[in-house]
């Protein structure tokens, strides 16, 4: 088991009037090699949760196991650097972390910090630039001259260049145009499927959850509400209502059809599946 939370709590500013418990007794297992979505309302503790994964935040209570490294409350962890190399964390709006004069320098900044030689880092930088759909002509430009979406890609490339085993993304598509965010999501899916990386992604977009992820974790008020695989999650119609989540369009359509008297099976998750289910029903009536 690669990532495991055992009764992890995190309280901000403990022992002060501003004390705030962001995570309460969290038990969670993330399966290696899967793409897991983390969803939940704003302020529910998603960001706090993911910042534990590379020990940026340390649990105030409980125990955390990440890739065989154990982090316990009240104990200063060792080997933080190697953990941060193995768990790449892309923050919300990561474009603000760009600071070097050229894009190339910025991308190799991370790998060089982790002891990769300059040549290897440059080689890797060229690979990841291609991955995020930017060509090599960008390498010598200043990151500050790019558009918002391009900056985002460079920032993500900077993390990918570290070649992490686990990739954690905090709302990577927020503020991107629909096409750009689809490209991003399929990139993450490819990294997960082809390179075998464990991907965790914080998102508000249920379409992304349904179409790209394997598992889904729901965080509510600092606690894990449920963890399921995506299909069984969306099969349970009442769950979305309980959580006040607008289900993906395809599920909404299926529900609407069922309300009109059709009896469509629960496991239609694509346009094709739904279409064939509907046509079966229609034929049966004829």
Contact 39, 216 (CB under 8 A): yes
Among 34, 114, 187, 266, indicate the residue that binds another protein (CB under 8 A): 114
The reply to whether 264 sits near another protein by the rule CB under 8 A is no
Residues 54-73 binding another protein (CB under 8 A) are: 54, 56
Which strands sit side by side in the sheet containing 166-170, from one edge to the other? Answer: 87-90, 166-170, 198-202, 35-39, 215-220, 223-229
The reply to whether 147 sits near another protein by the rule CB under 8 A is no
The reply to whether 248 sits near another protein by the rule CB under 8 A is no
For another protein, give the closer residue by CB, 110 or 222: 110
Among 71, 98, 217, 245, indicate the residue that binds another protein (CB under 8 A): 98
Taking every pair of Cα atoms in the chain, the longest distance, rounded to a whole number of angstroms, is: 70
Among 62, 88, 222, 248, indicate the residue that binds another protein (CB under 8 A): 88
Closest distance of CB 91 from another protein, Å: 5
Return the structure tokens found at 128: 């990841």
Which strands sit side by side in the sheet containing 69-72, from one edge to the other? Answer: 20-30, 3-12, 61-66, 69-72
The reply to whether 42 sits near another protein by the rule CB under 8 A is no
Q: What are phi and psi of 241, to 5 degrees?
A: -65, -45
Contact 202, 47 (CB under 8 A): yes
Alpha carbon 132 to its chain's center: 16
For another protein, give the closer residue by CB, 80 or 253: 80
The reply to whether 212 sits near another protein by the rule CB under 8 A is no
Instruction: By CB under 8 A, name the binding residues for another protein.
Output: 13, 16, 18, 51, 54, 56, 81, 84-85, 88-89, 91, 94, 96-99, 109-110, 113-114, 144, 158-159, 162
């Amino acid at each position: 088991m690669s990532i495991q939370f055992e009764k992890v709590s995190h309280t901000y500013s403990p022992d002060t009037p501003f004390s705030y418990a962001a995570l309460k007794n969290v038990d969670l297992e993330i399966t290696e090699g899967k793409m897991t979505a983390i969803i939940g309302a704003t302020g529910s503790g998603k960001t706090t949760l993911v910042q534990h994964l590379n020990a940026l935040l340390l649990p105030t209570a409980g125990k955390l196991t990440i890739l065989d490294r154990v982090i316990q409350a009240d104990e200063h962890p060792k080997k933080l650097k190697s953990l941060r190399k193995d768990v790449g964390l892309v923050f919300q709006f990561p474009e603000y972390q760009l600071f070097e004069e050229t894009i190339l320098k910025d991308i190799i900044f991370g790998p060089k910090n982790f002891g990769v030689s300059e040549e290897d880092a440059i080689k890797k930088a060229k690979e990841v630039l291609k991955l995020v759909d930017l060509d090599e002509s960008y390498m010598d430009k200043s990151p500050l001259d790019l558009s918002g979406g391009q900056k985002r890609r460079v920032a993500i490339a900077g993390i990918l260049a570290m070649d992490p085993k686990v990739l954690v993304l905090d709302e990577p598509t927020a503020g991107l145009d629909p096409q750009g965010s689809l490209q991003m999501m399929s990139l993450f899916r490819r990294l997960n499927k082809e390179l075998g990386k464990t991907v965790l992604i914080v998102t508000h977009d249920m379409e992304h959850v349904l179409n790209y992820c394997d598992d889904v974790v729901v965080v509510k008020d600092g606690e894990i509400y449920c963890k399921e695989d995506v299909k069984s999650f969306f099969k349970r119609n009442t769950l979305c209502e309980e959580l006040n989540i607008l289900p993906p369009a395809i599920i909404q359509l299926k529900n609407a059809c069922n309300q009109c008297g059709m009896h469509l099976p629960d496991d239609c998750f694509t346009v094709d599946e739904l279409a064939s289910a509907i046509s079966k029903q229609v034929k049966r009536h004829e």
